[in-house]
Structure 1
Amino acid sequence: MQDGMYTALFGALTQEHRMNIIANNLANVNTTGFKQDRTAFKDVFVRFAHDTIREPILHLRDKGLFPEPDYMSKVRIAESRIDFSQGSLKRSDNPLDIAISGEGFFKVRTDTGDYYTRNGHFTVSADGTVVNASGHQLLGEGGPITIEGNARIDISPEGQLFANGEAVDTIQVVTVSDLTGLRKVGQNNFEIHPDSGATEEAATDVVVQQGFLEAPNVEVVTEMVNMIETQRSFEAYQKAIMTSKETDSKAVNEVGKV
């Protein structure tokens, strides 16, 4: 089998992975606070022993290589990362809809631990706890935030929450020392990867805006263009695989005949 078939196969698999990422971005164009994924590509060069020996060597050969040796490359994903750029803020006028302007995250408590999120759509549960649509509890400086009765809710730009004019708690708004150390864990939540070395820090230069929600940072037109480009690339790799297969078939069935 020709090495060209493997090269095309690796390229097709890479484009398939890229398509999955694009599809997930497009599926979340209406998800509050969603952060899109981005990919970058590189060539991985396969080096042969004779590639580093271009000049004649008397005890090996007296002429240079013909044809000239070169490198074969296979496409690889060099980087897949989360784009944490700010999404636009949309007014909702819901007192428990809050958005962060700047680099920071809300902390929520789930059955499996505490996570970070940019989704600021919260409600009050039957027991008075402030939760999001998944039932995750919004954390303040004193733990899960609770509100009694049908109180009038006000939230300051610093994140301090008031019920009927009385201070209840301050919403935790945090960030991490290295955003590349965050990974998605589902339900629009993030956690620090244990091997990243990143640590939680208090967020600075952020403003908590009541009555607003952050839109996802996905640009639909850009993602649609990327999808078409990826599909065309995948089709090109398919053709390369079929061409390599046909060449192998002719070599076996025609050239190999006596």
Structure 2
Amino acid sequence: MENAYLVGLSRQVALARELDVVANNIANLNTSGYKANGAIFEEFISQTARGDGASRGDTRVSFVRDRATWIDLSQGPMERTGNPLDVALDKRGFLAVQTPRGERFTRNGGFQINAQGQLVTTEGFQVLGEAGPITFQPGDKDISISREGLITVREGNEARTESQRGKLRVVDFDNPGRLQKDGNGTFLAPQGVTPITPEPDKRAAVLQGVIEKSNVRGVVEMTRMIEVTRTYTQVATILQQQADMRRSAIEKLAEVPA
């Protein structure tokens, strides 16, 4: 296969990968706490590819290589819901939750109370406080969450007694860019990445009755999808033209008398 085909194929593979990333971002446009992904590509210089003619000797050919994806951790827009169980973090930070796969971290604060009285995510993961899972009593009323994450309720028949039910565990990371998405809006801290408790002056404020929306920019992603699709089509057209020229040349050579 000629180098032109290999270069074109590498470009198409990279464009297909980028299209997957863009499509996933668009699919999560309305997913609370979702963080957009971006694709990283690099030039790969082949040292072993040969030129089209044997007399030209070895030549360097430039390919496209899919290197990695990155996560845009910028804060998404805030939406006030009025639901006392909805929380959002202003500035950096993550909420700790307990999943069947272990401890994970999220920016999606759309919480609810399950049948056991535990504060959980929409997927049923336990929301962790600084002393463990947060559990409410059957008679708890008027749930209040302070900017520091302290959860208080009023209990009793006349709901006059104020009690604490825990404090949300808000963590941060020295290098949050190394976090890995683990599905359901959660992040996994790989080996060597340890969550830390921010100092009071650097701690993210907890906003009650507010949800952080996806930080995906819909117009930008739709524009990028159109650009990627058009570029893919252009590369396919060029490769088809190369194939047509090659076939035409072979047909003309076949017509030459022996």
- The normalised TM-score by structure 2 is 0.86
TM-superposed deviation, 1:217 = 0.4
Q: Is the 8 A contact 1:5 1:240 kept in 2?
A: no
Q: Does 1:151 find its partner at 2:136?
A: no
In structure 2, what is the Cα distance between the partners aligned to 1:248 and 1:93? 67
Which residue pairs with 1:198 in the alignment?
193
**1:1-258 equivalence runs, <5 A:** 1-47=1-47, 71-149=60-138, 150-164=140-154, 165-194=162-191, 197-204=192-199, 205=202, 206-255=204-253, 258=258
Instruction: Give deviations 1:30-66, integer Å, cap 9, x for gaps.
Output: 1000000012333222246999xxxxxxxxxxxxxx9
Letter paired with 1:76: R
In the superposition, relative to structure 1, how do residues 248 and 49 fare at CA in structure 2: closer, same or farther (>3 Å)? closer
In structure 2, what is the Cα distance between the partners aligned to 1:35 and 1:83? 6
- Alignment gaps of 5+ in structure 2: 155-161
In structure 2, what is the Cα distance between the partners aligned to 1:191 and 1:25? 19
Letter paired with 1:234: Y
Q: Is the 8 A contact 2:171 2:195 kept in 1?
A: yes
In the superposition, relative to structure 1, how do residues 160 and 45 fare at CA in structure 2: closer, same or farther (>3 Å)? same
Q: Is the 8 A contact 1:104 1:173 kept in 2?
A: yes
Q: Is the 8 A contact 2:83 2:209 kept in 1?
A: yes
Which residue pairs with 1:55 in the alignment?
none
In structure 2, what is the Cα distance between the partners aligned to 1:223 and 1:247? 36
Q: Is the 8 A contact 1:2 1:248 kept in 2?
A: no
- Alignment gaps of 5+ in structure 1: 52-65
Q: Secondary structure at the match of 1:201?
A: coil
In structure 1, what is the Cα distance between the partners aligned to 2:49 and 2:245? 26
Q: Is the 8 A contact 1:95 1:154 kept in 2?
A: yes
- The normalised TM-score by structure 1 is 0.86
Q: Is the 8 A contact 1:178 1:199 kept in 2?
A: no
In structure 1, what is the Cα distance between the partners aligned to 2:49 and 2:4? 19
Q: Secondary structure at the match of 1:107?
A: strand
TM-superposed deviation, 1:72 = 2.5
RMSD, matched Cα: 2.3
